[in-house]
Structure formats: C-alpha cells, structure tokens
Amino acid sequence: MADKRMQFTWDPIALAAQLRNIAGQGQVLMRCFVSHQPDAIKFGMGNRSTLGFDFFELMTRMMIDPVVVASAQIDLFYKTLGIWQKTAERMLMLRAREADASKDKRFKHPEWSENAIFNFVKDNYLVAAETILSAIREVKGMDEASARKVDFYTRQFVDALSPSNFVATNPEVLTATLASGGLNLLRGLENLLADLERGNGRLAITTTDMKAFRLGENIATTPGKIVYQNELMQLIQYAPSTREVRVRPLLIVPPWINKFYVLDLQPKNSFIKWAVDQGHTVFAISWVNPDGKLAEKGLENYMLEGPLAALDAIESATAEHSVNAIGYCLGGTLLAATMAYSAAKGDDRITSATYFTTLVDFTEVGDMAVFIDEAQLASLERRMRERGYLDAQEMATAFNMLRANELIWSFVVSNYLLGKKQVPVDLLFWNSDPTRMPAAMHSFYLRGMYQQNLLAKPGGIRLAGVPIDLSKVRTPTFILAAREDHIAPWKSTYAATRLYSGPIKFVLADAGHMAGVISPPGTKYGHWTNGNLPPSPDEWFASATPHQGSWWPLWDEWVTPLDAGRVPAREPGSGALAIIENAPGSYVRVRSIAS
C-alpha cells in the first residue's frame, strides 16, 4: 500500500514574505529575551550551576565501566538497523503503513504513522531516547541523589529534542506552514512575544484562554461571603442550598502553593458546591498571595492564623464547637500537623480529618527530590532572602517540569509552531494562577519535610512550642491518593496509614494530582477501595476492589455517620461574624503573573 502523502497548495512568494516578517519579529523577540534575563538562569526552583558536578560524576563512572556505553551503542545499532529495514520495505511497498497511531501523545497526528519518512524520524528518536536513558540508568556507583538528578535533567533534554518540537520534523506543523504561507509561525512568534511580556521577560507559557474566565462570574462562583480575615487568609462561608444542614460544619484547608478555587472551578465540577448540596455548611480558607512584608511568616503562623483561627471563627459563626476538616496537598500536611498539635493540647474541635493527595511521610517524593539537595536549597534560600518570598513562576516551572511533555512542550508546539489560540479550560486557568511563598515558611517546609522528613518523626518539629507527633492523632481519618500523582506519589501518601492511631480509610483515585481529586459524579475516572491496610501499598492494591465513577459519594457515606443530625440552614452573617465581602473575596484576586 502506498504511503499517504501530505496534500497542500501554497504560494512561494507569500511564504517568502511571511518568513521575512518572522525574521523581523525574531529580532524583536531576541532583544526582549536577552534584555530580561537574570544573571543565573534557573530551572524551576533549582539552579543549573549545580548540575555540572553530577554529570561529571556520570562521565567518570562511564569511563570506569565502558561496558555500559558499549552495550548501549550495540543495542542502538541493531534497533536503528531494524528501523532502516522497516522504512526501506515501506518505501518499496513491501510493508503496509503502521496500523495504529503511537500511544505517545506527541505523535498522535496520523502522519507520524502513515508517512514512512516521519515514521522513520519518530522511531529513530524514540529508540535513541530509550537508549540514552537506559544507559544512564545502568551506570553503577553514583549516589542516589546524583543519579536521580542526572536522570531527571537528561529526560528534560531528551524531551526537548523530540522531533515534534521542530518545524521541519513535525508533519502537522510543516503542513500548516506550507498551507498558510508561514502565517502559523508568525502568529506563533506573536504568541511568544506576548508570553514573554506576560512573564516580564521570562517565558510564561499560556496554556488556556486567560480572558475567558473571571473570578466570581464564571469560575469560583459558588455563593458565599467572607466572614473573617487576617494577614494570611480570608475565611469563606458558603450559602446553603438545602433547607436543613448537618450539625457539624466542614472546614476546607487548601494548599497555599495555588489558589483555593481548584475545588470550586465551575458548578459541574466544584467539590465545594457539591458538598454544599449534600447539606454541609462549608467554610474554606482562601490564603493570601504574600509579598516581602510576610517574609518571616512560618509554618507555625500558617497553623495559628489558618486552621486554628478558622476554628474560632466557625464557632462564632455557627455556635458549633466541632468540625469535619479536609486538607488538600500542602493544606493536608498543615492539617496533619494541626491535628497533632491539637491532640497534644487536648483540643478536640476537629472530629474527623480528610486528606486529599497529601504527603506527611516524605521518604520518597518522586522527581521533586531533584530540587531539594543542599546546594540547590542554599541557592533558593539566597534568592528568597533577597525578595522575601519564592517567586510564583519558579514554583510553577518546577511543577510543570515534572510533566514536561504535557505541560510545556505540547503548548510550545500548539502556541509557537502551530500559532493556535488557546481554548478555555478552567483547570488550566487555575494552574496559571500560582501564588508566592513566604521565605521563612518555604525554607522550613523544604528542609524540615522534604529534606529531613521530620514531620513523620515523633517530636521531629515543634510548632508554637509543642512537639508534633502524628501517632497521637486518634480521630477518624480518610486518605485519598491518586494513582498517577506526580507531586504526591500515592505509595508515599499510603505511608500515613502507619502513622495515625485512629481508624483510617484509604481510597485510591484514578488519574493525577488534580484530576484524581476533581472527580465529580459522572466522571470517567474510577477508584479503588480495600477495607484492610497491609504494611505495603503494593499489598493494598493487589487485593483492592476497583469501582467505576467518582469517589465523592464514598467520602460522603464515610463522613455522614460521624455527624449528629440536622439543623436549619445557616446563612452567612446570621451568627456572630459580620459579612466582610462576597466570595470569592479579594485575597484570591491578587495575581503573581499577569493574565
């Protein structure tokens, strides 16, 4: 069967004119880029100056044991020979085109499989990438931290060199370029210039239509009021949607790495709205987007002025002494510490704790470990001391690098090579709205948690003079993990089942750190349950039961028996706290990156 060929018509004169325009725009682009570059280019939270030593060690180990390199070269030769043979057979019509498109999303366009040349380019890249990474992983004698860092940054390099990222080797881009006379590349340069301007000289890749969403109008729209605020947070009380509500209010403690409204995107996927509709009186913390004035705010401040202050305010608003509490990601880590602090103080106001994709044992943190060695932490702390906070874009870049093909390179191709306009996606809008981190808090968090794993050790940290011991927590606990989580690996979140002393229910959601949580009824994602809690996560999963659909109703079934009945619905402002302003409030509107 003959290969399908790309069909297009184009005007070479128009193409030449567009290429001249592109060259002119490129000069503007380079001047803008160079003029805004800092003295030291950062990789997310890390710094490239520390990488040379790790790669030098890699090369040294390879020279000591050249068998690894030789084996990789032989393997690459035979695989490449096989690709040449397959391509030759297709060119001579002795072999049919590939039947199925690649499962790799970078190569989903049919030309990657149907066109023999592009199929050859793709296969050569994939074989070379696999060989490079395999050879690095086979090198013996490197310490674990250096090996992980080399592997991570080599993957970044290999991903960057994918043929899908270049005009001449991406069939979709090449077709668009010839068909439009280069207009796609001109639009792409305009998109690139706009993103550089938006990032104040650093590339802030646009991943969605940032003008399509307006807080309080078509995102974060669940009705509510701000009923309390301090330097670090505003407390939202949501308006009831049922005639009666549960006696015990629900407090949500979100992470302060991002904005709270990931749990209140749009009505169809808002966990907050769904919880309100189930009869919960929902309170949610909206953290401040800090500047240098809050540089000395530490984790202790976040506890005292966050969940503990919220408990006082909730009691004033509802006259109820106790709450059910939910912590998400870093907010869950804070909730766990607060639970241990409360146990030590004899404070029983939180009667159940739910954790969404939360790490409390940081023994294994996945690829986040590449950013937290001593040299990189020292460099990060120097930058934070200068400003008083961690820049939001550095944190966002670090998280995006964990899934570079999906969160960086796919948008490079779409925005800058294909010149497409972005479509509105609520989750991507939220992801493009990161927050800064106070220097003192973030330094303590990275060193105490990620580097030294002190939260998992009884008395490892002290907050407000109290030694924190998670084994003292005896309240009922619901732990949600996500199977494809790249930020809080699910097997690491499972470690919490060995730390708390009370009854624990562990549930594993399908998908990742966000989609696993934002999983409303009707979702395509499922979840797993297991009434037993064996020592290892692999044992747990081996005997777990799969379920179709959302885990949200399962959580509600778990928390309902812990409540004590129903009372008439509570309106915000009906208690002892006056209304300050409408939800979602003013704190959440402070942006770190221009929209």
C-alpha torsion 407→409→410→415, nearest 10: 110
Residue 8 and residue 275: Cα distance in Å, rounded? 53
* Residue 410 identity: S
Dist. CA 350–CA 303, nearest whole Å:
14
* CA pair distance 333, 96, nearest whole angstrom: 55
**Cα–Cα–Cα angle for 300, 482, 588, rounded to 5 degrees:** 45
Instruction: Determine the 3-state secondary structure of 330 from DSSP.
Output: helix
Residue type, position 448, single letter: G
Nearest to 302 by CA among 152, 405, 448: 448
Distant-in-sequence, close-in-space partners of 293: CB < 8 Å, separation ≥ 6: 388
Selected catalytic residue, list 72, 272, 308, 329: 329
32 included as an active-site residue: no
- Tell me, letter by letter, the H, E, C secondary structure of 348-360: CCEEEEEEECCCC
Answer whether 113's CB lies under 8 Å from 98's CB.
yes
The whole-angstrom separation of Cα 207 and Cα 447 is 32
Candidates 194, 119, 225; CA nearest to 163 is: 119
Dmax (CA) for the chain in angstroms is 83
Q: Which residues contact 531 (CB under 8 A, 6 or more apart)?
A: none
d(CA 292, CA 465): 26
DSSP bridge partners of 566: 246
Look at residues 259, 132, 204, 258 and name the one whose alpha carbon lies nearest to residue 408: 204
3-state secondary structure of 512: coil
- Please say whether the beta carbons of 583 and 220 come within 8 A: yes
Catalytic residues: 329
